[in-house]
Structure 1
Amino acid sequence: MTHSGKTHLLSSFVALALIPAALTSPLQAAVVYGESFTNADSTDDPISTAGWVAYRGTTATAMTGSGTGTIYIPGGAGNGNPQVPGFLALNALSNGAYATFEGGLNINPANGALNISWQHHANVTGNAETRLLLRVGSQWVATTQVFTPVATGMLTDFNNVNNAGAFTRSFAYTTLASSWFDVNIAPGDELSISPSARVTDLGNSPITAIGFYYVASGTVSTRIDNLVVDQVPEPHLTTLLLAGAAGLSARRRRPARG
């Protein structure tokens, strides 16, 4: 066997040896979206400063400003997470449906498993239903699962809440029809949710918007913070390429038959 032949066989063995490691090495989740609703100023900010919008009621009336009966980002040092001042305040919202979200996203579920998490508090726990709201492609959907907040006093008490793991809510993204309601958001015209779950799966269209669909019963204040989307990438094609390279290298260096 020539030196060149030994070299190619050695490369083949090395490539084959790397395959088990590539298959068993844990893939690290990457943050593909994050919003902490930061506001270190002394004044309240409209949610538009974070690129968010909000609508209320059956005619999807746009919500602006701050204070009682609005959705905004409170100002002042110490608000929200002690490390990151600010949070999304749904302040004293009364009976009815609300939708708040950020658009312009391009999160591709085909690139790996998605997990969505956030911190979630309210002054009471029984007066509101909160659902994760997504736009998948052009279709608005909200989870069939209702996320219950942790009761943490009045809105002014939220400023000093410690974002411990006990307050975290999370959702493992799935395209299964049974996990989603269709939602209609037509600003100035209609805000509604389907009475029953979808009958067809979502498919792998990109997620183009994220937020929350919120229904208040009575008057309730809710605090949301540190919304994060993590994605674990699919196993890379490197493993297949290594296997293919090893096979081709070995075949090329087989001795010719006389």
Structure 2
Amino acid sequence: MDLELGNKELIEKLPKEGVHCYPANASKITRNRIVSVIFFVIGVFLVLVGLLKVSDNMIKLGLLIVGGLSAVISILVFAQSFLIAKFRVAVDYNEKNVVLRYRYSKIAIPFENFDGRDGTPDQAEAIIDKNFKKDATYYLILDDVFEDACYQTSSSDLESVDDFKQLREECFAIAEAYGARNSKDKVKFYYEKSDSDVGSTEIDAVIEETRAEKKADEEAEALKRAEEQAAREAEEAAKEAEEKAEEKSDEE
């Protein structure tokens, strides 16, 4: 850990051991299981129809592909529901990691790389929150500042709003104590770029524009030379034709 970034006093205030687990929303787990079972049955039905009832090879192949994919995806979703039931996000003070379940993998972000901050819904989530949810949904970004990707969870993902608030409090405390967000080597988002970064971008744009103009000038010059060469060749061909015509006229 970089002690220049960390605050020893704040680090000492954090728990020294233990794992705090935050399970996924129980209603979401139940819904995912029900939906996955339904689609699994549909997938198996399509496969059986394709194998036993359809003689056309193209239709049979389509049913087998659609049914097979539906069944496989349903199995994966059903299996994942048991993984996130144990925890969606966990704070591991033994190993000094913030751990989250993302799809079918478990991602551990070391405290010294971690930043936690309030998030915002994407466009689809914003529409759902506005039109279909009675209670406000809160978002939390879980970020490894030295990696390009960052992850987001929400109060609707976890078992309760109280769980979300406790997780948010822990994440903010860890981020403040370890100070990874203050590292000069962190991956910067567009809104975090300094004036010098913007200046470099503008310089790069000018260079690219100059290169494009130079290339266009070279192409125009090459086209001009080609046209002049074609004109000379046409003129020479015309002269030769004229000379041949005169020679033929003299012979007659």
TM-score of the two chains, using structure 2 as the length reference: 0.25
Higher strand share: 1
TM-score of the two chains, using structure 1 as the length reference: 0.24
Q: Which has the larger radius of gyration?
A: 2
